[in-house]
Every structure is written in structure tokens, then in C-alpha cells.
Amino acid sequence: MLRGIPRIVSPDLMHVLLSMGHGDEIVLADGNFPAVTNARRLVRADGHGVPEVLRAIVRFFPLDTFVEDHAVVMATPPEEAEPEIWAEYRRILREGEGREVALTPIERFAFYERASRAFAVVATGETALYANLILKKGVVLPHECD
């Protein structure tokens, strides 16, 4: 074990986060997401929810500030309200980034296509619907390396 790393961040997840470069994407997938089908690299986080995993990694994971779609969710059907979990994502991302972070909804099959190109998929046990989230990694600034 190491100090300062939340126990929810497994060695496999930490390896993925450290291996990712600027512009690489990671999917935090809910329990209904076809993770095995869409993953180039699969990290299991069974028994944990997406907010728990997100809260644990935002301290290490800078969002890409060169693009607007650095936090992408799977769009709901037009007749459905925005999922409550999205507000939680915004709160967690705001705390991690120190600024407001907009979520970009994209159509379901476009989400699957983008997810299939992601660096990795983290398969969680999240039960909320439309709880999938794609994050695009940004750069770590020199003063953040200390």
C-alpha cells in the first residue's frame, strides 16, 4: 500500500491513470454498460459506484482544457429528465478542477463508438441509469508535480 491513494483506486486503475497521456479518454461505466465488449483495456471496480470512483481519481486526473467535451455522458431520450447523478458528477468535477465543468451529452450509439476508442473502461457496479461518463485527460502543469 501507499500513502494518500484511496483504497478504491486499485493497482490496475492507478497503472491506467499513469499510462494515459494528454487527450486519452477513460470511461467510468455503470453496471449496464457493455464494458467487456467496448474496452481496449478493462479495469474492474465491481461493488463501487461511478461517483465513488470519480471522487477518488479527480485528485490525480486533470481534465483537458483544450476541448469543451472533456466530460461526456450518454444522452437520455428526449422525454426523460436529466439523471440526478449528473448533478453529482458536476459537483465532484467542480471540486476536483476548482471550476465549473459542463457535461456534454452524446447519443447512445455515438457514446458506444467513442467508448470503444477510449484508453480504458472502468466497469463499476453503478445502478443509476445513464450513469456512464467519459473523461478526457489533460496536462499536468509543472507546479502540480510537487
12 an active-site residue?
no
Question: All 3 cell numbers of residue 97?
Answer: 478542477
| Dist CA 5 CA 36 (whole Å) | 26
112 an active-site residue?
yes
E runs forming strands in the chain: 25-29, 42-45, 71-74, 104-106, 120-124, 133-136
Q: Parallel, antiparallel, or unpaired for β 25-29 and 42-45?
A: unpaired
Task: Write down the residue that cell numbers 454498460 correspond to.
Answer: 33
130 an active-site residue?
no
Catalytic residue among 12, 24, 69, 112: 112
Q: What is the DSSP string of 33-93?
A: S-HHHH-SSEEEETT--HHHHHHHHTTT-PBPSS-S-SEEEEPPPTTSPPPHHHHHHHHHH
Catalytic residue among 30, 64, 89, 130: 64
Catalytic residues: 22, 64, 112
